[in-house]
Amino acid sequence: MIALQARRSRRTELIAVFGLRIAAGFVILAMVALLGYLSFEGTKTFYVDKFPLWSFLFSPDFSPDANHPGGIVFIVGTLAVTVFAIAVGGPFGVAVGVFLAEVAPHRMTQILKPAIEVMVGIPSVVYGWLGLTLLVPLIRTHTSSPSGFGLAAAGIVLSIMILPTVITLSEDAFRSVPSALKEGSLALGATRWQTITRVLLPSASSGIAVALILGVARAVGETLAIQMVIGNSVQFPKGLFAPTATLTTEIVTDMPGATAGSLLEHSLFSMAFLLLLIAMVLIVFVRFALRRRT
Amino acid sequence: MTEMSAQAVFNAAADKIVAEDVDVFYGTFQAIKHASLTMKAQHVTALIGPSGCGKTTFLRALNRMHDLTPGARVEGSILLDGEDIYGADADPVVIRHRIGMVFQRPNPFPKTIYENVVYGPRIHGEGNKAKLDAIAERALRQAALWDEVKDRLQRSALDLSGGQQQRLCIARAVALDPEVILMDEPASALDPIATSKVEDLIGELTEQFTVVIVTHSMQQAARISDFTAFFHLGEIVEVGATNQIFTHPKEKRTEDYITGRFG
Amino acid sequence: MAVTIVPRSPRSVAATSSVRARKATNAIATAVLWVMASSIIVMLAAFILYIGYLGWSALSPAFILGVPKETTPGGGIGPEIFNSFYILILTLLFTTPIAIAAGVFLQEYAKAGLFRQIVQFSAESLATVPSVVMGLFGLLVFVYTFHWGYTALGGALTLTVLNLPALLRVTQEALASVPDSLREASMALGGTKWQTITRVVLPSAIGRLTTGIVLIAGRIYGETAALIFTAGLSVTGNQPYDLNPFHTAETLAVHLWYTHSESVVPDVDRIGNGSALVLLIMVLLFNVSARLVGRALTKRFTGRVS
């Protein structure tokens, strides 16, 4: 009787495990499909429309109607906005991460951590709307910018949006430093700040690198919040307050109106493919940074 | 050493740290009860007792490490050269400059050997490279590590063996030129050969420093210490010259522990 | 004995000037950190108050239940709210079983090996793909290749792929939080691995799992970029509360974006304010209930509170 029971449950188990394996395989399938479809469609610009890759990447002349979708304006835009965001949000996020890991009393943590979770939950379109209704008019009144749209607005909004990512990952990195190291430093007469800067920060450096890289990934991929405040004008960012565009905002601005099969549509897919490649490169960086942690 | 001259030695040496009626609380739990102990300058005082008896807790009170534990409270007086280290204008940073600590498991920083040793002087303001180099050499010699690492000071401290790392931690503590070195079972994580090297080192260190060492090995206490305090359930049961404690313990509990009846 | 270089420490226990200087630096740095951390809380509070203040006047039954207008004022967001929930439920229907199954497989069965590494790598890569790129993927597959046009189902499937990595990670972490001693106890009593998982591990993990699912649900609710190209920008004219998954389904988040970039209605501000407020309320609701539900479930299934 027991033997029969055992056999039956073993059979259930085998079937179940097979199902689980399929589910796990689905993840791989999704990734492969994504890569496949996007590489196929994203390269049409080059081998169907015969537009040279070099020009796509480096020509400042974006005129798809004239068969010349040069994309460097958007690449530079993405770069500029990302650099702004990580330059502001990066150090701020790491600092708050240190605060949470080392300085904050329990009561403060109980307020701050849920606050950060709420920040993560706020949809990017709401951040964009906030930027549109709050930040852009502010910039318009207080600076030389005629419209308020531009790099500064997008950069500020983006800095705020990547804060939760950088904060939580930095905090994890600091917490994972063995407390024996902290004790050793304090036992030698160091102040807490000296311990943080001379021992904790170097020890947690690979974790912080991961935090920053993922912050960058978030910034590169953000679309709507930026699109609502950046001005969407196809020109290089001339300073902080002139309207410009990024790879993501361009896709969202022009894709709804693009005809299927047109050069414009193909070039937009090429931009998407480029974004995908950038994301994968960042993953490789993250793995590299993680491996450095011996 | 007869009991008479041991007492004479005890009286002749200066009092470095005098703990009187010390209580240590973790919240409402009292870990140390009315502990009184005089630790003599340039001698080794060993704290022995079964696990959980409070010897490490007592040790950590001596350099104010309990300040770092929320909810921990130290009462009573602990005098360093006559001054209360828990007094109103006593500063933990200064105290830890004068009273160094070596931990149970070696905890070198993930930096070079050189940077580990000079960490203490650096954070206390010493920036002159020539001076730091001299300090590093002096400290590493004092820790009997110089000959082994002098050619690779710029290599990572984490590449050293366990025993070497522990001696590096001793060098790190000694680099600050403290007056007292507290050691919390410094050889318990080491193999026998490394252990005996560390024990020999402790003997040399007393030429200049006062050493207070927690150890769970009675043989180790007997080998290297001058005076021994036996802890049990948070109280100091008996104190005396090491020789006397191990051959003619006065308290029954001490005798039971030493003869292995518990612990 | 070599000459000591550093002068023997001062003979007192009180602070010297250099020590005071270092402690001053410490105090200033600590204060700066406090200011930075507090500014985040203040900023968030300001956002919430701002959205609440502006959007409050826009909220009315006509707004919440009414239908959007193309060019005239007075439009509502009823169908959009409905669509947001509809797509959310559809997405969760697909994502949850796949993610939990894959997570169980990775955590309980395939602890090492090439297959696991490939799956982890795929998941990590998918996690960094920008949502707009995922939207284009959905456009290619569901709108074009499958010839569905803009559909709720297409949107839900795209969001499934988008959120799979996150839910997979939630599952893995929830399972990992169950101590091995529980598994061993079950096996020692003669349970098979499968029984151990279904009767011991999953119930123990269900609290954290649900918290994670509800939090991800909040993110799905606010998703925009991926839906613009898959679920579309409009609601079916005659039957706005459409249960047919094969019709266009503009969600609330997409609607907020649409009104502020493409739309030509004159009361853009009112619609925007109201939509933003509703979205914010939904997010807060998801956040709060995630914790509550998680705690309640843990209590129900394990008897403890955490």
Q: Which domains does chain C have, with CATH numbers?
A: 61-302 (1.10.3720.10)
* Domains, chain B: 3-107+177-258 (3.40.50.300)
- The nearest CA of chain B is from the CA of C3 a distance in Å of 8
Report the residue from C9, C15, C18 with minimal CB separation from B179.
C9
Distance CA A115, CA C19 (A): 37
**Tens digits of per-residue pLDDT, B131-178?**
999 999 999 999 999 999 999 999 999 999 999 999 999 999 999 999
Q: How far apart are the first and last CA of chain C?
A: 59
State how far the Cα of A146 lies from the Cα of A157, in Å rounded to an integer: 19
Q: Which of C144, C138, C94, C157 is nearest to C230 (CA)?
A: C138
Question: Mean per-residue pLDDT for B35-45?
Answer: 93
Q: What is the pLDDT of residues C214-234, one digit of tens each?
A: 999 999 999 999 999 998 887
pLDDT confidence of residue B44? 94
Secondary element (H or E) of residue C293:
helix C268-302
pLDDT of residue C17: 81
Question: A108, A176, A188, A195: which to substitute to probe chain B, counting the most B Cβ within 10 Å?
Answer: A188
pLDDT-based confidence at residue B201 (cuts at 50, 70, 90): very high
Here the tokens at position B68 are 């770092």
- Percentage with pLDDT > 90 across chain B: 65
Residues with Cβ < 8 Å from A172, sequence gap 6 or more? A207
pTM: 0.86
Assign domain A71-292 to its CATH superfamily: MetI-like (1.10.3720.10)
Q: Please state the ipTM of this predicted complex.
A: 0.89
Residues 97 to 116 of B: which have CB under 8 A from any C CB? 97-98
pLDDT > 80? residue C1: no
> Where do the structural domains in chain A lie, given as residue ranges?
2-42, 71-292
Mean pLDDT of chain B: 90
Q: What is the DSSP string of C63-78?
A: HHHSPP-SSSS----H
pLDDT above 90: residue C170: yes
* Nearest CB to B178; choose among C5, C9, C14: C9
DSSP C263: -
Nearest to B16 by CA among B195, B237, B226: B226
Residues of chain A where predicted confidence (pLDDT) is lower than 50: 294
What is the distance between the alpha carbons of residues A224 and A248, in angstroms, rounded to a whole number? 8
Cβ of B109 within 8 Å of Cβ of A183? The answer is: no
Q: Collapsing DSSP states into helix, strand and coil, what is residue C26?
A: helix
Contacts of C54 in chain A (CB under 8 A): 133
The rounded distance, in Å, linking the Cα atoms of C52 and A117 is 19
Q: What is the pLDDT of residue A294?
A: 46
More confident residue, B35 or A261: B35
> Based on C-alpha coordinates, what's the Rg of chain A?
24
C-beta atoms of B125 and C22 within 8 A: yes
Task: Give per-residue pLDDT as tens, B50-77.
Answer: 988 899 999 999 999 998 888 899 999 9
Query: If you average pLDDT over residues C178-182, what whole number do you get?
Result: 86
Q: How far apart are CA B124 and CA C305, in angstroms?
A: 47
| Beta-carbon pairs below 8 A across chains A and B | 64
pLDDT tens per residue, range C15-48: 778 888 889 999 999 999 999 999 999 999 999 9
Angle subtended at Cα A200 by Cα A194 and Cα A204, rounded to the nearest 5 degrees: 155
Contact A168, B74 (CB under 8 A): no
Residue B117 pLDDT: 94
For A23-63, the pLDDT digits (tens) are 988 999 999 999 999 999 989 888 888 888 888 888 888 88
Q: Which residue has the higher pLDDT, C306 or B28?
A: B28
Instruction: Quote the crossing angle between the two packed helices A179-187 and B162-174, to the nearest 10°.
Output: 30
The Cα B126–Cα C66 span in angstroms is 73
Residues 188-247 of C with CB under 8 A from A: 192-195, 215, 218-219, 221-225, 228-229, 233
Quick one: pLDDT at residue B32?
94
Q: pLDDT at position A162, please?
A: 96
Tokens of A93: 């996020």
Q: Higher confidence at residue C17 or residue C127?
A: C127
C2 has pLDDT over 60 = no
Indicate left, alpha or beta for C113 from its phi (over 0: left) and psi (-120 to 50: alpha): left
Give the integer Cα–Cα distance in Å for B25 and B74.
6
CA distances, B164 to each of A169, A181, B137, B194, B197 (Å): 34, 17, 15, 8, 10
What is the average pLDDT score of chain C?
86
Give bridge partners of residue B231 from the DSSP assignment: B236
B neighbours by CB contacts (3+ pairs under 8 Å) = A, C
CA distances from A168 to A17, A174, B149, C34, C48 (A): 34, 10, 40, 17, 21
